[in-house]
Amino acid sequence: MSPRPLGRKIAAASSGLVVALTLAACTTHPSPEVAVRSFLLSWQGGNHADAARFTTGDPAEVEAALADVHDQLDLASIRFNLGGITQDGDQATAEFEASADLGIGDPVWTYTGSMPLTDGPEGWRIDWSPGVIHPDLEDGERLAVSYEIEERGQILDREGEPLVSSDSVTAFGVLPAEMDDKEAGVTELAELLDEDPDPLLNRVRSAPPEQFQPLVLMRGGSVDGTLLEEAGKISGVQTEEVEINLSPRVAPFLLGDVAGTAEHRVSSRVAGAYQAGDTVGLSGLQNIFQHELAGTATTQVVTLGEDGRQTAVLESWDGVRSSGVQTTLDLELQNAAEGALENLPGNGYLVAVDTGSGDVLAAANASGQASDDGAFTGSYSPGGTFTLVSSLAALDSGAVSPGSPMPCGYQSDIGDRTFTNPSSGFLAGEPDLSRNLSFLCNVGFVDIASEVGGEQITESAAALGVGADWQLSLPADSGVVDINDDEADVAAAMVGEHGVQVSPLAMALAAGAIADGTWNPPTLVPEEGPAPAGTGELNEAHLDVIREGMRDAVVNRFPEVSVGEEPVYGQAARAEQEDTALHWFVGYRGDVAFAVLAEVDPEMTMWQQYAVTAATSFLAGDTAEGGQQPLNDDQPLAGAMPESDPGLNE
Q: What is the pLDDT of residues 324-355, one digit of tens each?
A: 999 999 999 999 999 999 989 999 999 999 99
pLDDT at 282: 85
C-alpha pair distances (Å), 270 with each of 265, 278, 282, 296? 9, 11, 8, 16
Q: How many domains does the chain have?
A: 3
CA–CA separation, 449 and 435 (whole Å): 17
Encode pLDDT of 34-48 as tens digits.
999 999 999 999 999
Tell me the whole-structure pTM to 2 decimals: 0.78
Q: Mark which of 138, 170, 188 sits at the end of a domain.
A: 138
Q: Mark which of 291, 325, 359 sits at the end of a domain.
A: 325
Domain assignment present for 9: no
Domain assignment present for 348: yes
Encode pLDDT of 316-328 as tens digits.
998 888 889 999 9
For residues 169-184, average pLDDT: 90
123 and 168 in a single domain? The answer is no
pLDDT at 412: 96
CA–CA separation, 620 and 168 (whole Å): 34
Q: What percent of the chain has pLDDT over 90?
A: 65
**Helices and strands in the chain: count of H runs, count of E runs:** 22, 25
pLDDT at 257: 87
Q: Mark which of 325, 354, 386 sits at the end of a domain.
A: 325
240 and 345 in a single domain? The answer is no
- Judge contact between 593 and 587, C-beta under 8 A: yes
CA 347 from chain centre, in angstroms, equals 22
Q: What percent of the chain has pLDDT over 70?
A: 86
353 and 502 in a single domain? The answer is yes
For residues 243-262, average pLDDT: 86
Q: What is the dihedral of CA 266, 373, 249, 601, to 10 degrees?
A: -120
Q: What is the dihedral of CA 15, 16, 22, 23, to 10 degrees?
A: 180
Encode pLDDT of 492-531 as tens digits.
999 999 999 999 999 999 999 999 999 999 999 997 655 5
- Residue-wise DSSP of 177-228: GG-S-HHHHHHHHHHHTT--HHHHHHHHHTS-TTS-EEEEEEEGGG--HHHH
Range with top average pLDDT, 22-31, 73-82, 604-613: 73-82
Q: What is the mean pLDDT of the chain?
A: 86
Q: Within a 13 Å sphere around the CA of 483, how many CA atoms are in the beta-carbon half?
A: 29
> Which H helix or E strand runs over 481?
strand 480-481
Helices 540-557 & 504-516, crossing angle to 10 degrees? Answer: 120
Expressed as residue numbers, the domain containing 318 is: 155-325
Q: Is residue 571 predicted with pLDDT exceeding 90?
A: yes
pLDDT at 352: 98
556 and 626 in a single domain? The answer is yes
Q: Is residue 533 predicted with pLDDT exceeding 60?
A: no
pLDDT band of residue 275 (cuts 50, 70, 90) is: low
602 and 625 in a single domain? The answer is yes
pLDDT at 246: 85
How many C-beta atoms lie closer than 10 Å to residue 200's C-beta? 26
425 and 518 in a single domain? The answer is yes
Q: Which residue has the higher pLDDT, 628 or 41?
A: 41
Q: Is residue 621 predicted with pLDDT exceeding 60?
A: yes
Which is nearest to 461 in space by CA: 428, 504, 431, 506?
506
Domain assignment present for 150: no
Which is nearest to 561 in space by CA: 594, 607, 601?
594
Encode pLDDT of 284-311 as tens digits.
999 999 889 988 878 899 999 988 889 9
Domain assignment present for 147: no
pLDDT at 450: 96
Q: Residue 191 — φ and ψ, nearest 5°? A: -65, -40
> Which CATH number fits the domain that encloses residue 213?
3.90.1310
Q: What is the dihedral of CA 304, 305, 311, 312, to 10 degrees?
A: -50
CA–CA separation, 297 and 277 (whole Å): 12
287 and 360 in a single domain? The answer is no
Q: Which residue has the higher pLDDT, 438 or 643?
A: 438
Encode pLDDT of 213-242 as tens digits.
888 888 766 788 899 999 999 999 999 888
124 and 192 in a single domain? The answer is no
Which is nearest to 638 in space by CA: 351, 340, 385, 336?
385
553 and 626 in a single domain? The answer is yes
243 and 392 in a single domain? The answer is no
Judged by average pLDDT, the poorest of 76-85, 184-193, 316-325 is: 316-325
Q: Is residue 265 predicted with pLDDT exceeding 50?
A: yes
pLDDT at 1: 37
pLDDT at 627: 36
Domain assignment present for 7: no
pLDDT at 264: 63
pLDDT at 615: 97
Encode pLDDT of 462-503 as tens digits.
999 999 988 888 999 999 999 999 999 999 999 999 999 999
Domain assignment present for 8: no
Encode pLDDT of 94-136 as tens digits.
999 999 998 766 789 999 999 999 999 889 999 999 999 999 9
C-alpha pair distances (Å), 76 with each of 4, 45, 106, 370, 417? 15, 12, 10, 37, 70
CA–CA separation, 338 and 112 (whole Å): 61
593 and 626 in a single domain? The answer is yes
Domain assignment present for 430: yes
pLDDT at 4: 32
Biggest alpha carbon–alpha carbon distance for the chain = 120
> Which CATH number fits the domain that encloses residue 617?
3.40.710.10
CA–CA separation, 335 and 163 (whole Å): 11
- Judge contact between 398 and 372, C-beta under 8 A: no
Q: Which residues of 303-338 are buried (b: 16+ CB within 10 A; e: fewer)?
A: bbeeeeeebeeebeeebeebebbbbbbbbebbbbbb
Q: Is residue 628 predicted with pLDDT exceeding 50?
A: no
For residues 417-435, average pLDDT: 92
pLDDT at 607: 61
297 and 364 in a single domain? The answer is no
> Which CATH number fits the domain that encloses residue 97?
3.10.450.50
Q: Is residue 623 predicted with pLDDT exceeding 60?
A: no
Q: Is residue 69 predicted with pLDDT exceeding 60?
A: yes
Domain assignment present for 144: no
